[in-house]
Structures are given as structure tokens and as C-alpha cells.
Structure 1
């Protein structure tokens, strides 16, 4: 539940035949993902060979990530090997977090393998 844009509590679905309203450990810990006093609220960036972190806007950080991923993909994308179409890059990988659910992981897999041609897409829950 939330009030005035702030998270108040997280509850399970009492009609769920699996959990019967109880939260799994991940669900119970989700509250702290948003409310913990040590949660970083600003983007931190450390330039190559720099010793200090600097703050930057989220928009700028997202643009930097997108530019670097796209440049790496363009530079390393392989369309054919030994006469066979492969359409992939081995220069970029993705490691998902355990807080993602099945639906989110499915979309990530579709985007990164089908959209960007990444070969290595994994999740820390498997490791």
C-alpha cells in the first residue's frame, strides 16, 4: 500500500492458493528496497582511472549506458560465420538479479537475445 507517494506496507494476496496471503522472503524484503536509510538515491559515476565518484543525472547515466551498449554491439556484431546466419555479439552480457520475477526475466531474455543479439544472458539465482 502507498499513501501520498510513499510506500506504507507490502502484503500478500490472501486468496492465493500458494501463499495464502503470506509473503515469501523476497516479497517481505522488498519493502526495504525502497525504504532503507542507506539506499542510494543518486547516480554515482567514476570515470576511467578516476579516484573519486561524482554524481550525475539519471537521464545522463541512462544515455551513457545506451550509447556504450550500442557502440559495443555495432563494433562486435557478427551476422554470418562459415556461411551460416548467427546474428549475435559475444562482447556484451547480462546478469540479472534475484529480485526479478519470471515475467521480467522473460522480457529481459527476449530483449537481449532477440533484440540485441547477446549470447550470454544469465541470472544470479542460477549461479
Structure 2
């Protein structure tokens, strides 16, 4: 199995490598994912074949599953960064795209739960683009 990606949390406590290939890359606009990320959507990569190896910080990872749902979120307890998780009894690896230090290598497959997107998440391509922090 070839090396696919590596990543870490913001503080660097949790580091990982992934071997295998992505099957899909979804941008989820559901209210739960907006709450998780504080943004317009979650950007997650999915694989039933890839394997994750934790290089450090496994003890800093907490996983939360919203009761009565399949909604799962893993994060670093030090800095709060979203981190990969094994879901569906370990059959599915879900990796937040922003947690990767390497290129993702695929384009998003689809926007999902698009009908429930935030009202301000329309026509973002028309919003001014600034390359650095505004002054």
C-alpha cells in the first residue's frame, strides 16, 4: 500500500500518515458539519481501503459521536483541530482535508446536503478575494 498523505493538528501534538487511496471527497453543508467546523461546510476525504498510522499524540485525540446519529468528529484536545477518525465500526476512514500537510490529490466529488446550506453560502465566487490578512 503506497503512502498517500500525512498530516497533523494545529499544535503538532497529533501526527499521522495515511496509505491507500481516496474513494470520495465530499463538501458537506449540513447544520451538524457547519457546527463542527464553524464554516460553510466540512471538507472530508473518505476511504474504505486506506490505513492510518498515528505517529504521535494519539492520547490527545477525543472522538465525539452525536447521540442517535452517524455524525462523528475527532479532534485534538490540546488545540481543537479536526482529525481523522475510523467510522462504521472501523470500516471507513474519514479524514478532514484541512488536517493534511500534503496535497489532497483529488478534486471534491460533490457538495452534499447542499439544500440545507447556510443562507450566506451563495455566490461566494463573487466575494472579494484578498491574498493576505486584511489591514
State if a TM-score over 0.5 links the two structures. no
The structure with the greater share of residues assigned to helix is 1
**Higher RCO structure (Cα 8 Å, ≥6 apart):** 2
Question: TM-score normalized by structure 1?
Answer: 0.17
Larger Rg: 1
Bigger proportion of residues as strand: 2
- TM-score normalised to structure 2 length: 0.17
